[in-house]
Structure 1
Amino acid sequence: MSANGGPLPGQARPDISPRHGFTESHTENMLRDSLLIAAALAGGPAALIMQDESGTWYRDSCGLTTEQAASLEPALSRGSGFDPEARGHGAQGLQLAAALPLVDDCRRALGTLCVLSQGPPSLSEDQREALRLVAEHVQTIVTMDRQRSESRATLRAPAAASFVPGLVHELGSFIFGISASLDALEARYTGLEDVGRYAANIRKGLDRMGTFIVELKEYGYPQRLSWTVLDLEPLLREAVERNAPLAAKQGIDLQFHSEGALPRIQADGEGLQAALIRLIDLILQQEQPGGRVVLNLAAAHQGNRGLIAGNLDFPGTKMKQVDPARIFEPFYYRMSGLGRLTLPGARRIFESHGGSLTAGPGPEGGMRISFMLPSE
């Protein structure tokens, strides 16, 4: 029904090109039902528009013509719901009554569910709350379809939900058993020089394996232990300070620069900071004395969406032959010592926050690792 009690206009289902579609045929039926519910709750036309970096890939509407539904897209900004300046324009005479941003379980933007009206919007609080629940239902439908697509159509990654925790458990049990046997051996043969020398080497290897298990566990699936709204600058500044002693030991100039006021982010501060500390530590250990490592931080925008953009610039002397497109693959970059999962683990942490971590050429022939995190 429309806002004035009459029937809705023709309920066109426009053809979309490109239109990715969904794994299950009934997924679109469920989305269609959700769209009809949203239109009934608002008493006016409704549209569901899915967008990614390449543009709109799925669009459906209730009470709108093909042209009206298409005309909505310029007013929508991926990740922020709508452009406030375009709110009054709506879809060819209609006005946006509500635009609800849709995100996946990693808080990456999926698209927008919007409802419209022929006159000034006048949704009650109960209507807005009901539409919010419909939007959450749409997010669940899309997320479940993507999970089914992963399990049926793609190869299972090493970080599969059961594989990595199981591997961590088995390796941990093995280390515990060897360590206990070593304790008993040292107690039995106390004072023998050869035993002490060999035992020290074995313990060194066990410690290295223990550190690797920690990396493996965190690479498997990043845990959101304390998901809060926070300021990123103090967190990064502390990460740099924690690495200052290592930089001094290596003879490397470690700097931190932040430009202007930064938006707040929603994050697991402990996990994000740990990933940054390990990332800086890894870079410092690969650099020659006399080098310089600089962490830069600044605010940015993507449409109407606030972002924090940063980069780590360093000479990258030992990474000259490394393919930047593959550097985040597990075990691709082979450095001495530990840290072979540091780069892929850090990327998983940033992606779990809805951000990104990439590598490429840096200034003066060096290397740059760039990251992005969305604001709250």
Structure 2
Amino acid sequence: GMRLAAYRPHIRSAGLALLLALVVGPLTVVAAGFAAWTGRRAERERERAARRERLASLGELAATVAHEVRNPLGAIKGYAQLVEEGAGAEAARRAAQTIHEECARLERTVSEVLGYARDAQPRLEPVELRAFLDAELGRLAAEAAAREVRLVRDYGDEAVAVRADRDQLARALDNLVRNALAVSPPAGRVVVGLRPERRQVELFVADEGPGVAPEDRERVFEPFFSRRPGGTGLGLALVRRIAEAHGGSVRVADRPAGGAEFMLRLPR
């Protein structure tokens, strides 16, 4: 009897442990199953929300493309009909010039849409930015000259290298410089430069145009937002997408002397 009494506390503890195991064990399994079900449900909700967002973006894209394509097509059709009906030599020349300009506008629209839809995952390689800028600005020199705008380089003699996707960086720079040229007055300047820092480098494009209203400084980087007649609203959205894919950022500020400055920051 005394031996049994000595073991009773142990027996009670073991019984309590068994009881707890019998009660808590199934509850733990149920809780784990509920957590897994909740997680799967939340994941399905996220997927549905992402699909809704993609469909909404696709609808906006379709509406933008339809609008941007319809106007040039109408002009091309009208001027082609004018030539077909036997317009004089001078009228036919003007019609051909307009058709050429509207085809170029269509080509720009298609390029912007395809550029935005393309996979944003960068293929990184070493890029020396001074040589890169010299080459890219050389390609834009004819357009700047046609607009009577001077392209000014402001990046000194120091070599500045980053790891970047050269093609994506070229598309981002092309959008920034073309936008600056489009808003610049005749005899104006577009300044392209670098501000190197220890961990990052800032590539900037500054113009002498009307600037960007404070309430639009975030919105200009949203897809399909544009204050410019004929703009698709995809160019600056693509710049931000490329910047973020590289671990960087882009922002815009007004210049003290007037105009806007777009700053693309990239890690070194």
With normalisation by structure 2, the TM-score equals 0.62
The partner residue of 2:161 within 260, 263, 285 is 263
1:359 equivalent in structure 2: 252
Q: CA deviation at 1:212?
A: 0.6
Single out whichever of 215-224 and 193-202 deviates more from structure 2: 193-202
Q: CA deviation at 1:371?
A: 0.9
Q: Deviations over 1:82-126 (max 9, x none)?
A: xxxxxxxxxxxxxxxxxxxxxxxxxxxxxxxxxxxxxxxxxxxxx
Change (3 A) 1:206 1:254: closer
1:125 equivalent in structure 2: none
Distance across 1 between alignment mates of 2:139 and 2:207: 18
Matching of residue 368 in structure 1 with residue 235 in structure 2: no
Amino acid across the alignment from 1:212: T
Matching of residue 342 in structure 1 with residue 235 in structure 2: yes
2:151 equivalent in structure 1: 254
Change (3 A) 1:297 1:207: closer
Q: CA deviation at 1:150?
A: 5.5
Change (3 A) 1:192 1:274: same
Distance across 2 between alignment mates of 1:148 and 1:241: 50
Distance across 1 between alignment mates of 2:214 and 2:153: 27
Aligned residue pairs, count:
215
Q: CA deviation at 1:363?
A: 3.2
2:47 equivalent in structure 1: 151
What does 1:160-199 correspond to in 2, within 5 Å?
163=58, 192-193=86-87
1:300 equivalent in structure 2: 197
Q: Deviations over 1:125-169 (max 9, x none)?
A: xxxxxxxxxxxxxxxxxxxxxx97863556615796xx49x959x
Amino acid across the alignment from 1:332: F
Q: CA deviation at 1:314?
A: 1.9
Q: CA deviation at 1:346?
A: 1.7
Q: CA deviation at 1:369?
A: 0.7
Matching of residue 219 in structure 1 with residue 120 in structure 2: no
**SS of 1:317 mapped into structure 2:** coil
2:6 equivalent in structure 1: none
User: Is the Cα contact below 8 Å between 1:224 and 1:271 reproduced in 2?
Assistant: no
**SS of 1:239 mapped into structure 2:** helix
Q: CA deviation at 1:329?
A: 2.2
**SS of 1:364 mapped into structure 2:** coil
Distance across 1 between alignment mates of 2:146 and 2:215: 26
Distance across 2 between alignment mates of 1:312 and 1:240: 11
Distance across 2 between alignment mates of 1:220 and 1:310: 24
**SS of 1:151 mapped into structure 2:** helix
The partner residue of 2:187 within 260, 267, 290 is 290
Q: Which has the larger radius of gyration?
A: 2
Distance across 2 between alignment mates of 1:350 and 1:263: 16
Amino acid across the alignment from 1:289: P
User: Is the Cα contact below 8 Å between 1:230 and 1:269 reproduced in 2?
Assistant: yes
Gaps of 5+ in 2: 1-34
Matching of residue 280 in structure 1 with residue 177 in structure 2: yes
User: Is the Cα contact below 8 Å between 1:159 and 1:221 reproduced in 2?
Assistant: no
Q: Deviations over 1:349-375 (max 9, x none)?
A: 222222211112223243211111122
User: Is the Cα contact below 8 Å between 2:176 and 2:205 reproduced in 1?
Assistant: no
Bigger proportion of residues as strand = 1
Structure 1 stretches of 4+ with a deviation exceeding 6 A read: 194-200
Distance across 2 between alignment mates of 1:286 and 1:331: 18
2:210 equivalent in structure 1: 317
User: Is the Cα contact below 8 Å between 1:287 and 1:315 reproduced in 2?
Assistant: yes
Amino acid across the alignment from 2:105: R
Matching of residue 210 in structure 1 with residue 107 in structure 2: yes
Distance across 2 between alignment mates of 1:315 and 1:224: 33
Amino acid across the alignment from 1:347: R
Amino acid across the alignment from 1:193: A
1:241 equivalent in structure 2: 138
The partner residue of 1:328 within 221, 227, 239 is 221
**SS of 2:137 mapped into structure 1:** helix
Q: CA deviation at 1:221?
A: 3.6
Amino acid across the alignment from 2:150: D
Indicate the structure whose relative CO is greater, using CA pairs within 8 Å and at least 6 residues apart: 2
Distance across 2 between alignment mates of 1:248 and 1:357: 27
Change (3 A) 1:151 1:360: farther
Q: CA deviation at 1:215?
A: 0.4
